[in-house]
C-alpha cells in the first residue's frame, strides 16, 4: 500500500468535510513534523494520467484553499509512509520557507495569445526570384521574425509586470513557450488583493486590444511549489 500525496498544508488540523481523491479514495490529513500532508491510500504502482485523475488531484488540493494556502505536489506522487516522512524531515526548513512564501496568497494565471497578421510583403515570390533566393529570403524572414517576436514578448512581459506591480508578490514568466502563445505568467497574489488584481487585469486587457488574454484563478500556488533544482542535480536533467 502506498500513499498518494496531494499537498502540504499549515494551520489546519482537520479537513472541513469528506474529500474524494484519486480513484475515489478518501483523502486524509496527516501530520508529520508539525506539517500537514493531504494523502490517500493507493494500491497500484503507478497512477494513470487520465483527465479524471488529474481533476481528482486538483479537487483534493483545492479543497483546502479556502482555509489555507497549500503547497501542491506534482501529479502522480506515490510514496511509502516512511519515504514521505524522510522527505519531510530532510527538507523541513526548505518546505517551511516555501510555505511561508505562499502564505495568504493564491496563484493567478495570465496567458497572452497573439495572432501576428501576415504581411503580404512577406509572401514568397518564387516565380520571380528563383528557388535559392526564395529560400534565403524565407530564412531571413524567419530569423528577423523570431528576433522581432522575442523582443516584442520581452516588451509585453515588462509592460505586464509594470502594470501589475504592487499587486503581485512573485511571478513566474515564460515568453514564447509556443508559436502562438506569446507569454504565460503565474502571479502570486495576496488573498486580500485578488479583487483588485482582477480589476487591474481588466484594465490591462483594454489597453491592448490587439492581444488575446486568458486570465484564470485563483489557483493553489502550483507554480511556486517547485523544489526542482535538487531533482535536476540528482538526475543530471537540465
Binding residues (CB under 8 A) for other proteins: these are: 5, 7-8, 45-47, 49, 51, 54-55, 57-58, 61, 65-66, 71-80, 82-84, 86-87, 90, 98, 106-107, 109, 113, 180-181, 191, 194, 198, 212-220, 222-223, 225-228, 230-231, 233-235
Residue 230 CB-density burial (10 A; 0-12 exposed, 13-18 middle, 19+ buried): exposed
Between 153 and 222, CB nearer to other proteins: 222
Between 79 and 137, CB nearer to other proteins: 79
Q: List the grid coordinates of 79.
A: 510514496
Give the shortest CB-121-to-other proteins separation in angstroms.
Answer: 26
Give the shortest CB-208-to-other proteins separation in angstroms.
Answer: 12
Q: Which has the closest alpha carbon to 52: 21, 79, 8, 26?
A: 21
Question: Reduced to 3 states, what is the DSSP secondary structure of residue 14?
Answer: coil
Question: Reduced to 3 states, what is the DSSP secondary structure of residue 238?
Answer: coil
Give the shortest CB-194-to-other proteins separation in angstroms.
Answer: 7
**Could you tell me if 109 and 220 are in contact, meaning their C-beta atoms sit under 8 angstroms apart?**
no
108 phi and psi, to 5 degrees? -115, 145
Q: List the grid coordinates of 129.
A: 526570384
Q: Which residues of 30-39 are buried (b: 16+ CB within 10 A; e: fewer)?
A: eebeebbbbb
Give the shortest CB-46-to-other proteins separation in angstroms.
Answer: 6
Between 49 and 131, CB nearer to other proteins: 49
Between 28 and 219, CB nearer to other proteins: 219
Give the shortest CB-139-to-other proteins separation in angstroms.
Answer: 24
Between 137 and 213, CB nearer to other proteins: 213
**Could you tell me if 43 and 104 are in contact, meaning their C-beta atoms sit under 8 angstroms apart?**
no
Between 120 and 238, CB nearer to other proteins: 238
Q: Which has the closest alpha carbon to 80: 45, 34, 116, 115?
A: 45
CA distances from 116 to 155, 174, 207 (A): 15, 19, 17
Give the shortest CB-40-to-other proteins separation in angstroms.
Answer: 15
Amino acid at each position: 500500500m502506498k500513499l498518494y500525496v496531494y499537498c502540504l498544508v499549515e494551520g489546519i488540523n482537520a479537513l472541513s468535510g469528506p474529500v474524494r481523491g484519486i480513484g475515489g479514495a478518501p483523502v486524509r490529513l496527516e501530520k508529520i513534523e508539525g506539517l500537514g500532508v493531504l494523502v490517500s491510500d493507493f494500491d497500484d504502482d503507478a497512477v494513470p494520467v487520465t483527465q479524471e485523475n488529474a481533476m481528482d488531484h486538483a479537487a483534493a488540493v483545492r479543497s483546502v484553499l479556502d482555509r489555507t494556502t497549500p503547497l501542491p505536489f506534482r501529479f502522480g506522487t506515490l510514496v511509502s509512509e516512511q519515504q514521505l516522512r524522510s522527505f519531510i524531515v530532510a527538507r523541513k526548513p526548505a518546505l517551511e520557507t516555501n510555505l511561508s512564501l505562499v502564505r495568504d496568497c493564491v496563484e493567478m494565471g495570465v496567458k497572452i495569445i497573439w495572432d501576428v497578421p501576415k504581411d503580404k510583403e512577406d509572401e514568397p515570390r518564387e516565380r520571380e526570384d528563383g528557388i535559392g533566393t526564395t529560400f534565403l529570403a524565407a530564412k531571413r524572414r524567419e530569423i528577423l521574425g523570431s528576433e522581432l517576436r522575442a523582443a516584442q514578448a520581452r516588451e509585453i512581459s515588462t509592460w505586464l509586470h509594470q502594470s501589475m506591480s504592487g499587486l503581485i508578490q512573485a511571478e513566474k514568466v515564460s515568453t514564447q513557450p509556443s508559436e502562438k502563445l506569446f507569454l504565460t505568467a503565474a502571479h502570486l497574489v495576496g488573498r486580500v488583493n485578488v479583487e483588485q488584481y482582477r480589476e487591474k487585469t481588466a484594465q490591462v486587457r483594454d489597453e491592448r486590444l490587439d492581444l488575446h488574454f486568458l486570465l484564470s484563478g485563483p489557483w493553489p500556488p502550483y507554480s511556486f511549489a517547485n523544489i526542482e533544482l535538487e531533482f535536476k542535480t540528482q538526475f543530471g536533467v537540465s
